[in-house]
Structure 1
Amino acid sequence: MVTAAVLLCLGMQGGPAEAARRAPSFPWDDLFGTRPQRPHKAVRRSAVPLPKPRPAQAPAATHAPAAAHAPAATEPEPPAAETQSPAAPADAAKPAEPQLSACRQALTDEIAIAPSIPDIHGAGGCGGEDLVRLEAIVLADKRKVAVKPAAILRCKMAAAVADWVRTDIAPLAQSLGGGISNLDNFDSFECRGRNRVAGAQLSEHGRANALDVRALGLANGKSISLTDRSVPRALRETVLHSVCARFSTVLGPGSDWYHEDHIHLDLIDRRNNYRICQWNVYDPLPEVAPLLPAERPEQAPPREVAAKSDASKTDASRADQGNADHGRASDGKPDAARSHDAAAPDRSAETKPQPTKKRRQSRRF
């Protein structure tokens, strides 16, 4: 009996510890797959970093406390040579030059005098890049064809104009005698809409991609207007075929009312490389002889005699005209009226004028 009581007491003392160690088990744990929570593992602690070992050339540690108690002394300034930063290389100071385009490299001074100008970026997409100022075109024989005034164009457009003048226009002008000396530039870069209409789509002139040519100047001083109908038709047709084969857009007389006195050329990019060539080469106007006085024949009388005879003829014609007018007036009257008019002057001469008032006669009684 005593032994059972001792065992019971020991079981009661170990019960709470055993209950805390073992988690209670419920019948639905196996049904829902709930597992008893496991105690967390002990957190691993990393070792505290230690300072690196002191180098051998460092001063002794015994002087450190003395230095700490000593008054802070001003450190000497480093020499000026050490404070200055090392000199930058000369190449790094200069800005990098922009790389030239393939067109700019090909358009040399042997082809055209066309210095590069800065890019233009205006409102509404106006302007462009890779721009040049086309001042003159150099021919194969080193002669220069001046562009008056100088045209601001994109490099590709300037190269196309130079190739056109060198290949097609120079031989054509040489056949006329004297060769070509200048190109009349009617318009090049201008930030505007098409045909200068307000609100219209941006023109190729606004993109520096168009040139208007009005005439070709020859070395002998003559000027050939490309839209003048007095210029031979064959010459104008030759120029027409040359420009339509090189440029995307060609506008001249007959295209609209804005290109009657010049030729518009541009290099606009269209779908499927579509091109527009609208230039009617009209037939030349018929020659009209000037209205000049005819030469005086040799058998003509002197001018003084001719003038007197003309004056006498004029007087005679006037008299005849007066008689004819009087005859026509008399013919229009009846016979009685004509006889009365003929007798009227004689009657007036014979009779005296009658008084308008009657005299009062006194009556005698």
Structure 2
Amino acid sequence: MKTFSAGIARRKRPVGGVSRDRLAMVALAVLFMPVAALAGTGIPLPQPRPAAATVPDGKDAKQASEGAPATPETSPAPSACRLALTDAVAIAPSIPAITGPGVCGGADLVRLEAVVLPDRTRVPVKPAATLRCTMASAIADWIRTDMAPLAEGLGSRVSELDNFDSFECRGRNRIAGAKLSEHGRANALDVRAVRLSNGRAIALTDRKVPRELREKLMRSVCARFTTVLGPGSDGYHENHIHLDLAERRNGYRICQWDIYDPMPTAAPLLPAERPTEASRRETAEEKDKASEALPEREALPRDASQAGPAAAVPADVVPQPRKRPPSAQAAGRPARDSSKPLPSASVPSTRLSAAKHVKRKRHTNLPPFLRPLFD
């Protein structure tokens, strides 16, 4: 058994010598040693980072998104209109909702491609119309219930619906700054004509179509749609009919469609004949002959300055002097003799002298020294 003594302690190396170098070498070996080698040495390693905390970027993000399981999106439940508008009524597949620009658009939209008649015959809508389900259902019901029997009464069948305009984000009548049209809400359809299988086209605003037939069309659409605009409404619907389902207070409806009379077959090019009992009119040739038969008269000058000394004026044209009215003689004044000359201005008139005499008599009551001032 060895005993500890001070001499032995002096012979031992200090702790800061070789022991510290060995510790540094061990630390470096541990740092550069692979992780797999450390796993068998029993040295504790840090826990791996959870996958949820990693933030991939670039290609790693794309691969992570493709590899991640897709979350199921909950689609809205179909509306009652969508459930009723089956393939037995119309070919109208659903389309995504439209939002904007502005307040344009709507939900529960369909693309109305054709109306299916009760006998399974399809009536194409050309071009296909983008409408709300309720508007598309109203159009299909109108074709199936009203137009199909009307065409059968004409000895034909409905073959096509001429769509003039459906969804379009714009103001009313395409006026800048106007209120949003029902076309911007996919709640309106402009119809120009209904074509038949025999090649005939029933243009709703054509005057050649019999008036009775156009009146039937007007009554049918005005009973089904809340707004009907046609010829005579505002000047913008002279060649088509506007139909929509706009909602208003108290269920107010608008039906403005003037049924014009057919155009005349031949326009009158000449005025109507003169009635036989009217007086005979004088022709231009007869007027010329009558003017030649009249005696020639020398025309009088318009201005007196144009008349020369040799100008002969008929006696019946020269104005005659008027006679003095007898009232002057009745007043006791003697009539003036036209043969005597008028009194000259130098000869004082009796009337003036009398006036002066009266004037002198008026100033007789003045003092003597003031009389010369007024005489």
User: Does structure 1 residue 222 correspond to structure 2 residue 200?
Assistant: yes
Distance in 1 (alpha carbons) for counterparts of 2:94 and 2:47 = 57
Distance 1:75 1:124, change over 3 A: closer
Residue 289 of structure 1: how far off its partner (Å): 9.2
User: Does structure 1 residue 149 correspond to structure 2 residue 127?
Assistant: yes
Distance in 2 (alpha carbons) for counterparts of 1:74 and 1:258 = 83
Residue 138 of structure 1: how far off its partner (Å): 0.1
SS at 1:245 equivalent: helix
Distance in 2 (alpha carbons) for counterparts of 1:189 and 1:71 = 74
SS at 1:123 equivalent: coil
Residue 224 of structure 1: how far off its partner (Å): 1.0
Match of 1:197 in 2: 175
SS at 1:281 equivalent: coil
Distance 1:124 1:74, change over 3 A: closer
For residue 258 of structure 1, what is the amino acid of its counterpart? Y
Residue 221 of structure 1: how far off its partner (Å): 1.1
For residue 265 of structure 1, what is the amino acid of its counterpart? L
Distance 1:111 1:71, change over 3 A: closer
Among 105, 123, 133, the alignment partner of 1:127 is 105
RMSD of Structure 2 on Structure 1 (CA) = 3.0
SS at 2:216 equivalent: helix
Among 86, 95, 106, the alignment partner of 2:73 is 95
Distance in 1 (alpha carbons) for counterparts of 2:159 and 2:191 = 14
Distance in 2 (alpha carbons) for counterparts of 1:75 and 1:287 = 102
Distance in 2 (alpha carbons) for counterparts of 1:211 and 1:276 = 15
Distance 1:72 1:187, change over 3 A: same
Residue 125 of structure 1: how far off its partner (Å): 0.6
Residue 94 of structure 1: how far off its partner (Å): 3.2
Distance in 2 (alpha carbons) for counterparts of 1:273 and 1:241 = 18
Give the 5 Å matches for 1:166-205. 166-205=144-183
Distance in 2 (alpha carbons) for counterparts of 1:213 and 1:132 = 18
For residue 139 of structure 1, what is the amino acid of its counterpart? L
Distance in 2 (alpha carbons) for counterparts of 1:167 and 1:76 = 75
Give the 5 Å matches for 1:135-284. 135-284=113-262
The unaligned stretches of length 5 or more in structure 1 are 1-69, 78-89, 292-330, 332-365
Among 268, 288, 307, the alignment partner of 2:266 is 288
The unaligned stretches of length 5 or more in structure 2 are 1-40, 49-68, 270-292, 294-375
Q: Alignment identity in percent?
A: 68
Distance 1:290 1:142, change over 3 A: farther
Residue 243 of structure 1: how far off its partner (Å): 0.4
Match of 1:111 in 2: 89
SS at 2:219 equivalent: helix
Q: Normalised by the size of structure 2, how large is the TM-score? A: 0.54
Residue 282 of structure 1: how far off its partner (Å): 1.1
Distance in 2 (alpha carbons) for counterparts of 1:126 and 1:97 = 22
Distance in 1 (alpha carbons) for counterparts of 2:250 and 2:46 = 79
Distance in 1 (alpha carbons) for counterparts of 2:163 and 2:46 = 76
Distance in 1 (alpha carbons) for counterparts of 2:44 and 2:194 = 89
For residue 238 of structure 1, what is the amino acid of its counterpart? K
Distance 1:289 1:179, change over 3 A: farther
Residue 95 of structure 1: how far off its partner (Å): 2.5
Distance 1:71 1:182, change over 3 A: closer
Residue 222 of structure 1: how far off its partner (Å): 1.3
Distance 1:199 1:289, change over 3 A: closer
SS at 1:186 equivalent: strand
Distance in 2 (alpha carbons) for counterparts of 1:71 and 1:172 = 95
For residue 139 of structure 2, what is the amino acid of its counterpart? V
- Deviation by residue 1:83-106 (Cα, 9 ceiling, x = unmatched): xxxxxxx9x843223211111111
Distance in 2 (alpha carbons) for counterparts of 1:250 and 1:261 = 13
SS at 2:205 equivalent: coil
Residue 113 of structure 1: how far off its partner (Å): 0.2
Q: Normalised by the size of structure 1, how large is the TM-score? A: 0.55
Paired residues in the alignment total 219
For residue 216 of structure 1, what is the amino acid of its counterpart? V
For residue 128 of structure 1, what is the amino acid of its counterpart? G
Residue 154 of structure 1: how far off its partner (Å): 0.4
Distance in 1 (alpha carbons) for counterparts of 2:80 and 2:199 = 37
SS at 1:286 equivalent: coil
Distance 1:290 1:135, change over 3 A: farther
Distance in 1 (alpha carbons) for counterparts of 2:136 and 2:252 = 21
